[in-house]
Amino acid sequence: MADEPLVLGIETSCDETGVGIVRGHTLLADAIASSVDEHARFGGVVPEVASRAHLEAMVPTIERALSEARISARDLDGVAVTAGPGLAGALLVGVSAAKAYAYALGKPLYGVNHLASHICVDQLEHGALPEPTMALLVSGGHSSLLLAPDITADVRPLGSTIDDAAGEAFDKVARVLNLGFPGGPVIDRYAREGDPQAIAFPRGLTGPRDAPYDFSFSGLKTAVARWIEAKRNAGEEVPVRDVSASFQEAVTDVLTRKAIRACKDEGVDHLMIGGGVAANSRLRSMAEERCADAGITLRVPRPKLCTDNGAMVAALGAEMVARRRAPSDWDLPADSSLPVTEPHVPGSGGPAGEHVHGHAPGHSHDHVHELSGKNLYS
């Protein structure tokens, strides 16, 4: 393998069909096909709709990524795919596609963890991750504090949400305010023109006896909904901008406060923030202020790399190849509840392991392999 492995990554854990191509720590392509507009009228992601959208978008998105990277599929050193966690049907589409491409090309297959990928993507922005890395991951499905001594083999959960994730709370509050879906970007936009101190919304799990690193946003969401309901019942206009700003302030206050505490308690001087909510402007600015005050170096990827994408999967896959981690077997499952303690799903040393330095078993490049009528070697 080259010192800087060339890896294609496939991400289909939710509603984004992401395909990225990475060489070492360098991003060559990041192609995304989103089905978010198809879910907007339902106010949330519909698993079956997402799965069908992945099926339709997969091959064109891979072809677009290869074209953007200006490489041939045969040049790849491996194929990585999100094996979990995520929506079972959506994951299955990506895993099946990755198996087909890897087998046809005679390349090793790496089933990787969605959350670990969100951490590893920062290498494309700021270079190699320090070891250990403290990571705050915040999205529609996850709010987690993770300590990663080795992103390919050792990721330790310190805390997580016990009910609604931060991104989920953004979506639910946006729905109550009639702002549409997804809620994160629109609340961020309205909050910029509001007063974050206008309404004293609660900060969940911040008492002295509460779990120091766990999160709870269900109570906050309910408090916001009741406040809005009271205003409407009284015939008063709801100050959307102030509500947005005050709610957003409560979320980012809790997230950054707990992340800084975890860094201090664990003696880690770097904090990485990832996941879709990491694109939030107030979370970024508050984290910058509090990390600077605490003497902690903050690492946050650019917004496009914070949301679900194939680049993050390719980044972790490239790290797996570089560190010679065992590839996955051909019967790699799609695991909707894959724990973060498993950054990837290594094989048993059987068929998948046999093609680390050569072709897949029984495979010959003399044969033409096609998917959906498209030649894989074009």
Report the DSSP pairing between strands 143-150 and 297-299. Answer: unpaired
Question: Based on the domain organization, do 135 and 209 belong to the same domain?
Answer: yes
271: β partners? 134, 298
Q: What is the mean pLDDT of residues 52-75?
A: 96
By percentage, how much of the chain surpasses pLDDT 90?
Answer: 83
369 has a pLDDT exceeding 60? no
**Residue 284: both structure tokens together:** 């970024």
Question: Based on the domain organization, do 109 and 178 belong to the same domain?
Answer: no
41 or 300: which carries more pLDDT confidence? 300
Residue 275: helix, strand or coil by DSSP? Answer: coil
Nearest C-alpha neighbor of 195 from the set 253, 251, 250, 245: 245
Residue 349's pLDDT is 65
Helix, strand, coil distribution of the chain in percent, nearest 5: 45, 20, 40
Residue 360's pLDDT is 46
Is residue 10 within 8 Å of 86, Cβ to Cβ? no
Give a yes or no: residue 221 inside a domain.
Answer: yes
Question: Based on the domain organization, do 153 and 275 belong to the same domain?
Answer: yes
Q: Where are the alpha helices (DSSP H) in the chain?
A: 36-40, 47-69, 88-105, 114-120, 123-126, 166-176, 183-191, 218-233, 240-266, 281-294, 303-306, 310-322, 351-354
- Give the domain extent around 34: 6-121+309-375
Give a yes or no: residue 89 inside a domain.
Answer: yes
Question: Based on the domain organization, do 112 and 192 belong to the same domain?
Answer: no
Give a yes or no: residue 268 inside a domain.
Answer: yes
Give a yes or no: residue 105 inside a domain.
Answer: yes
97 has a pLDDT exceeding 90? yes
- How far from 351 is each of 57, 347, 376, CA to CA, in Å? 29, 8, 21
Residue 241: helix, strand or coil by DSSP? Answer: helix
Question: Based on the domain organization, do 292 and 369 belong to the same domain?
Answer: no
189 has a pLDDT exceeding 60? yes
The distance between the two most distant Cα atoms of the chain, rounded to a whole number of Å, is: 75
269: β partners? none
Question: Based on the domain organization, do 136 and 204 belong to the same domain?
Answer: yes
368 has a pLDDT exceeding 80? no
- Mean pLDDT rounded to a whole number for the chain: 91
Give a yes or no: residue 230 inside a domain.
Answer: yes
Nearest C-alpha neighbor of 189 from the set 172, 176, 170, 217: 170
How far is it, in rounded angstroms, from Cα 353 to Cα 361?
10
Is residue 215 within 8 Å of 250, Cβ to Cβ? no
pLDDT in tens, 306-365: 999 999 999 999 999 999 999 999 999 999 999 999 999 999 864 334 444 334 443 433
What φ, ψ does residue 274 adopt, rounded to 5°? -140, 180
106 has a pLDDT exceeding 50? yes
Q: Give the domain CATH number at 291.
A: 3.30.420.40
Question: Based on the domain organization, do 245 and 186 belong to the same domain?
Answer: yes
Question: Based on the domain organization, do 62 and 202 belong to the same domain?
Answer: no
**Residue 318: both structure tokens together:** 């490239």
Number of structural domains the chain divides into: 2
Give a yes or no: residue 274 inside a domain.
Answer: yes
How far is it, in rounded angstroms, from Cα 69 to Cα 27?
9
Domain closes at, from 264, 282, 303 = 303
**Residue 202: both structure tokens together:** 């609660």
Q: 34-43, 45-54, 120-129: lowest mean pLDDT where?
A: 34-43
Q: What is the mean pLDDT of residues 270-282?
A: 96
Burial (0-12, 13-18, 19+ Cβ within 10 Å), 320: buried
Question: Based on the domain organization, do 226 and 334 belong to the same domain?
Answer: no
* pTM of the shown model: 0.89
Residue 176's pLDDT is 97
Question: Based on the domain organization, do 135 and 257 belong to the same domain?
Answer: yes
Domain closes at, from 303, 336, 351 = 303
Domain closes at, from 253, 282, 303 = 303
Q: 92-96, 109-113, 163-167, 290-294: lowest mean pLDDT where?
A: 163-167
How far is it, in rounded angstroms, from Cα 53 to Cα 317?
24
Question: Based on the domain organization, do 330 and 220 belong to the same domain?
Answer: no
